[in-house]
Amino acid sequence: MATEIERKFLVISEAWRTQVQRSEQFRQGYLSNNPTASVRVRIADEQASLNIKGMTIGVSRPEFEYAIPLADAHELLNQLCQPPLIEKTRHYIEYAGKTWEVDEFHGDNQGLVVAEIELSSADEVFAVPEWAGKDVSHEPRYYNVLLTQHPYRQWSEAERA
């Protein structure tokens, strides 16, 4: 079984932009979301996948990902996934020996920018860049699956704080 261990932070400045090594466009939607798992279809540039994530337990959770034909992914996103879809640009940055992914959201989640780092263990020590602010790893409203149900553009000022 594969396990995803990641931490998520709000991005608090534009300083990260000068550190980007590469970027890719994402479009994703959810076929299913229930208390035990979510099933997501994702297109990253020209690669498509079906992803199954288990319920979050701390900062780790079971995750399975399978390549699928690009045409199938387009059909699934356009016909079976509940709108709104997640649209974002993912920027990759190397910092202190780790790869950080900065997600800049578009569409209904325009204005939200978060940084994620995947870890080898939940207690792994890592350096946090100066442009990464509050750790929101344990705040479900920042999960992509929940951003389809309550997009960032609908958040109150209190929710954005």
pLDDT tens digit string along 121-130?
999 999 999 9
Tokens of 125: 């020590």
Mean residue pLDDT of the chain comes to 95
What does the pLDDT read at residue 3?
87
Please give the residue that has the higher pLDDT: either 117 or 82.
Answer: 117
Q: What CATH superfamily classification does 3-160 receive?
A: Hypothetical Protein Pfu-838710-001 (2.40.320.10)
What does the pLDDT read at residue 79?
97
- Per the DSSP assignment, residues forming a β-bridge with 28 are 42, 86
Instruction: Based on the residue annotation, tell me whether 30 is a catalytic residue of this protein.
Output: yes
Cβ-Cβ contacts under 8 Å for 140 (sequence gap 6 or more): 56, 146
**Structural contact between residues 132 and 138, judged by C-beta atoms closer than 8 angstroms:** no
Tokens of 99: 């790869």
What does the pLDDT read at residue 57?
66
37-41, 56-60, 123-127, 152-156: segment of lowest average pLDDT:
56-60
Average pLDDT over residues 134-156: 95
Helix H or strand E segment including 128: none
pLDDT, one tens digit per residue, over 50-101 is: 999 997 767 888 999 999 999 999 999 999 998 999 999 999 999 999 999 9
143 has a pLDDT exceeding 80: yes
Q: How far apart are CA 115 and CA 135, in angstroms?
A: 9
136 has a pLDDT exceeding 80: yes
SS3 149: coil
Residue 107 pLDDT class (50, 70, 90 cuts)? very high
Q: Report angle CA 93, 97, 98 to the nearest 5 degrees.
A: 55
15 has a pLDDT exceeding 70: yes
SS3 76: helix
User: Global pTM?
Assistant: 0.93
Report the percent of the chain where pLDDT is more than 70: 98
Tokens of 156: 């109150």
Q: How far apart are CA 139 and CA 149, in angstroms?
A: 15
Catalytic residue among 30, 95, 142, 152: 30
